[in-house]
Structures are given as structure tokens and as C-alpha cells.
Amino acid sequence: MAATAAIAGLGLTDVGKVYGRSATDFAAEAVRLAAADAGLAITDLDGLLVSPGTKGSPKLSLQKVLGLRDLRLLAEIHALGASPAAMIAAAAQAISSGEATAIACVFADAPLREKGSSREAFGTQRSLPSGFASYHLGIGAITPNLFYAMAARRHFETYGTTSEQLGAIAVGQRGWAAHNPIAQFTKPITLADHQSSPLIADPLHLLDCCLVSNGGAAVIVTSAERARELAQPPVDILGWGQAHPGQIMRQGSNFGLRTGAAVAGPAALRMAGVSVADVDLLELYDSYTFTVLVTLEDYGFCAKGEGGAFVSDGKLGPDGSLPCNTGGGQLSSYYLTGFTPIVEAVVQGRGQAGARQVDKKDVIMVSGSGGVLEHHATLVLSGASA
């Protein structure tokens, strides 16, 4: 399909252990950076979509922080890790319908505090809960690590997937991170390093788990036509899709085996008029190595249950045949939920990725995943300049 909307601007603040700034501060900076990157004045924006971080900000009030007047589109969009892709899809639709002409989509978060560990940033209970929440706390079943570990364990037991196979994903992404100046971890790792990294929640090791970062990211979505007159090479938005299976935890549940990616991915590819065989570059949400593996299966890059064997030859890494998470991803680079893969997709799509730039970028498939594999959003982007 010919794209009607494109990503024309990208803004990324300093990310990682960056203290003394609120999520709203990061969000405002990201929007300003994105507009400037596109060659637009902040007053050229007539749409703003905001995805709140862990503490509920940034909010709609970001409009006033930025001094944006007479907006024709303003909303908070919250689908956890699927939010950024969902915002960009909503923006593309608003561009197509003529509802707005230049829309900023932004997410920011500041969970890290100066003396706190990453674990404390997301894991501290401020006051003891009651009811069923107190049951879950009282049995020690809290934090995403445990629930993703149970998802991965089910996949292991059902299909024979192994920790070493997950390790191949971590090793490949660290290989890419070595070429990304903003990655937090760039020192190469081996499969042995992965295996000897501490067990967090069996079967997940430390090197299976993403980072926690402070920072913000934004993009400017405008028409594909206008994007070609602006400052940066356009990255066209070819297709999108969401899926929220609402899986019920009972006999017959696919928990850990199949996710919304199995619906959202094919829908986005269909809209774009392409198939998995056409995909040049993958930027996948990688909260855990396992998230990448199950998404590859659900998107149809390999058969269900064969994700472990599929990744084990290192094909996702810098020397492989299917470039994936070329900036190092959330595992090695930084964590801004669904914006981590989107930012890298835009940089690659523009041909601005330096030493890690891939040759082919006509079809870039991007995923966002929220909750414990509960919410999924896919984008199909293209860096083919016209």
C-alpha cells in the first residue's frame, strides 16, 4: 500500500540513570526535540498523543507545559508496553482522515531514584494491600519477572525450549549494542556469560531481563507527502494492528504459549501488503529474551514451538540473516517501553544507524507488548525513500 502517513521527527532525551527530572520534564523535552528534528516549530503541531509512565505522568496537561494552543487532537493512550505503537497507529489514522496534520506521540518515565536499585523502582509496595492482592503479595507472586518466568517455563515444558536458546537472543542483541553509542551495556557477552549470570526467577537469568531507565521519546507523525518536504528522510507507516486476547486463566489457556502477536502481526502485514518473507528488519519488544522468542513464533517467522531452534544459530545478531533489535533493545540499550524498538526502527529506516546500519530497510516490523504478554501492537514501517 502507498503510505498516507509517515514519521517525520524523532526526539530522544538522555536515557538511563538520569536524575532530577520528572517524567513530564522528559516528555516535554522529547516533543521539542522531535519537532526540531523534523524541522517544525512547536507551534506547527496540531495533535498530541501522550502515554503515561509508571507514576501516571505525563498527562494531558503536557499540552500546557509545552504551550500548545488550538490542538485538534489530544488524548492519553495507555496500553502498557503497546502504547507507543498504538499512539502512532492512532496518529496515522488521524492524518489519513484529515483530523490533524502534525501529531506528536510521546512517552516518558522516571522510575529510577538516585539511590534506589532498579528492582526497588518498580517493586516496592508502599502500603500493604488487602483482599486478593494481599494473597498474591503474601505468596510472593509479585513483579513481572516472576510472571514472565512462569510464561517461559510453560513454553519450555511444552516445546522443549531451553535457557541456552534464550541466551542466543541476549548474546545477539549485545552484539548489536556494541555499535550503539547510547546503549547502556556494550561489552560483548557469550552464551557462557548468560548461563552464569544470576538466576532471577528460574528459568530467567539476569541477562534475560531488560533494563530500567529514566527518559523520554517522541515522534512526529505527518502526511507521507509533507514528510518528504521536511528535514529528515521519511519513515513511512505502512500497516498496524493490535490484539488483546483477554486470556482467561483457566483450563485450556494459552498463557506462555501464544500471544496477541499472532493476530496483530498478520493484520499489520496484511494492511501493508507484505508478508513475513518481505521483512528486512525486526525491532521487537524485548522486556525479556522470551518475549522476542514468542513474538517471532506468533508473527510467523517460524512454526509455533520452534522459536528456540530458530534463534539458536545467532541469526538475529550482527552476523546473522535476520537483523533484530539492532540498537541492543531493552535488554542491552535502554528501556522506554514500546519506544525502544520504535526509535531504532526510525534511526535504521532513515539510514542513520552508523556502524550498525542494515542494508535493507524497505519493510521494518516493530512490536509493542504490554502486561504479561496481554496487550500487543504491531507497526510495519518502511525506510524506502521516495
Partner 1 sequence: MNDTATWPPMRRDAKSAEFFEAASRGELAIKKCTDCGRSLAPEAMVCTDCGGSVPAWTSASGAGTLITWTTVHKAPNPVFAPMVPYTVGVVELAEGPWLYARITGEPRAGAALRAEFVHPAEGESYPTWVVTSGQ
Catalytic center residues: 285, 335
Q: Is 21 in the site for partner 1 (CB under 8 A)?
A: no
Q: Is 250 a binder of partner 1 (CB under 8 A)?
A: yes
Interface with partner 1 (CB under 8 A), residue total: 42
Binding mask 194-223 for partner 1 (x = CB under 8 A): ----xxxxxxx-------------------
Q: Least distance from C-beta 205 to partner 1, angstroms?
A: 9
290 binds partner 1 (CB under 8 A): no
* Alpha-carbon torsion (284, 315, 234, 386), positive or negative: negative
- Residue 261 region, left (φ>0) first, then alpha (ψ -120 to 50), else beta? alpha
Between 98 and 198, CB nearer to partner 1: 198
Residue 181 as a binder of partner 1 (CB under 8 A): the answer is no
φ/ψ (deg, to 5) at 381: -115, 165
Q: Is 267 in the site for partner 1 (CB under 8 A)?
A: no
For the bound state, the minimum distance from the C-beta of residue 128 to partner 1, rounded and expressed in Å, comes to 6
Minimum CB distance to partner 1, residue 251 (Å): 4
Residue 369's H or E segment, with its range, is strand 364-370
| Candidate residues 20, 70, 97, 249; the one interacting with partner 1 per rule CB under 8 A | 249
Stretch that binds partner 1, among 2-10, 93-101, 152-160, 183-191 (CB under 8 A): 152-160
Phi/psi of residue 288, each to 5°?
A: -140, 155
Per-residue buried b or exposed e for 281-320, using 16+ beta carbons within 10 Å of the residue's own CB: bbbbbbbbbbbbbbbbbbbbbbeeebbbebbbebbbbbeb
Report CA 279 to chain centroid distance, whole Å. Answer: 17
Q: Interface with partner 1 by CB under 8 A: which range of 67-75, 154-162, 325-333, 367-375?
A: 154-162
Residues near 19 by beta carbon (within 8 Å), at least 6 away in sequence: 112, 113, 114, 214
The mark string for 112-151 relative to partner 1 (x by CB under 8 A, - otherwise) is: -------x---xxx--xxxxx-xxxxxxxxxx-xx--xxx
Helices 289-299, 261-272: crossing angle, 10 deg rounding: 50
Residues in contact with partner 1 by CB under 8 A are 119, 123-125, 128-132, 134-143, 145-146, 149-151, 153-154, 157-158, 198-204, 248-251, 253, 255-256
